[in-house]
A and B are shown apart, each in its own frame.
Chain A
Amino acid sequence: MKTGTVIAPLLLAALLAPAASLAEPYLAVRTGYKCMVCHVNPTGGGKRTEFGSIYSQTAMAAERLDPATGKALPAGAPSDAAAWTGKLNDYLAIGSDLRANLSGTRVPNSPSTVAFDPTRAQLYLEVKPIVDRLTIYLDERVAPGSATNRETYAMLWFANRAAYVKAGRMFVPFGLRIEDDSAFIRQVTGTSFNSSDDGVEGGFELGPWSAQVSVTNGAGGGTETNRGKLISSLFGFVQPAWRVGLSASTNFNGDADRSMQSIFAGLRTGRISWLASAVYITDDGTPTGRLKQWATLAEGNYEAAKGHNLKLTYEYYDPNSDVKEDQRERYSAVWEYMPFQFTQFRLGARKNSGIPQNNAQNATEVFLQWHAFF
């Protein structure tokens, strides 16, 4: 089968789908898709599928440029133009994300800083020795510093792609996998893109239902030193305009067990896609006994026009429910602009609010990010 005969219907589907801005859970809410529609990893993040890549180029960008000439493609141009997806052949595909940041930070009682942050970049390799059945996947962070591995696993689909198992290094399935690793629900749960783990994962994708369960070392990718394991699960129910999900995980470490529960939901109302999540964490074996924490997130994404998204986020974090007056908040406003395919600019501000005696908890940040990807 020629590539074009595959790409054309995918492009058509992408063009008919609602316009969007970039690969995050709100996009899934906006489109009504599951994560696996646009990402190789069924739980989201990392390399995009062929459909996801085409979708980003055709439905997310304000306009499409002809890769050969750099000129804007006219409306009605052939649907398979400007649609390089990283697919090298039926068995091999590549992808990448690069984020270059200029950020300014103001911390009370400290000099303000403006800095070009270390550039972050990932390279993805997807090998499919048996198409639609067996995938070998590699996600390597190549910057900053020397290369480090984020995900490496083999994944086997069966039951007509209704179920899979994978084994290797992976991001464990838990809660909303939003892009912002500094969000409270990501930071305090340790489920960020900086923290993968070694083990196995199984999942089902049955109609609107999704379920994933993983068993991993629970050592954050570090050396395992005990027999305890991290068991993490994620369940979702997806409808075209809304979705709900539950997550639970338990890490057995003998004297330092941790359990986490998360509930999350998404809703599309016109041009606004809403996300909400709450996470509850208990830790045993801390210096002060059992530690109980809460973190929440509420986010609205307004699609102002094709290629433009305004993201407003509110976050709340109670680091110890037994201690009064230690809570923290964070407000974020981010404008995301994708002028053409493979390119997104993000301009944002975050206001942190915490206890007044901790300056860092009251920092204000602004940033400008260039996100190049395919």
Chain B
Amino acid sequence: MNRPNVVSVGVIVWLSSELMFFAGLFAMYFTIRAVAPQMWETGPTLLNIPFSSVNTAILVVSSLWCQFGVFAAERFQPRRTGGLLDFKRWGMIEWFVLTYIFGAIFVAGQVLEYAELIHKGLSISTNGYGSVFYLTTGFHGLHVVGGLIAFLMVIGRAFAARRFGHAEATSAIVVSYYWHFVDVVWIGLFAVIYILK
């Protein structure tokens, strides 16, 4: 290979602009907190830290499964060569399905968390804290959902292609870039919203 892959470079440039999108959300969070610090005396006490820590761990682990899927895609191996539980011989599809399941559990956990918070009386229109909490975590959640759709497309392409080649591997690799990015952003959001408070 004697030149960078244009798709990969394009995705990285786009992800750097996504970083700025989330910078805007962080700016919003810190601005509201500076203007109305009294909301932070009651708001964060409603958060269920152990639950969201487990949910965070699920998302971080899904990034690991995604990377194993990329290694399989780089070997041009879409399907498993052994039994279903013989994970050492798994192909890209098996790893990406596992990633999809973990990502879907994360989104479901977040929906559960939202339901619990609304039950406790914190909704997006309650106060400034509710607004920034749901906007930051909600926009991140939408990104996770977008990533899940992207995984479905990549898996679909692996089934549609007669021969798993560079085009299929490239789409798997760039979706993994996106997934790792969304994962890192969540670690930042989790640190600011749940730990730093």
Indicate whether A and B interact: no
Q: A residues bordering B, Cβ < 8 Å?
A: none
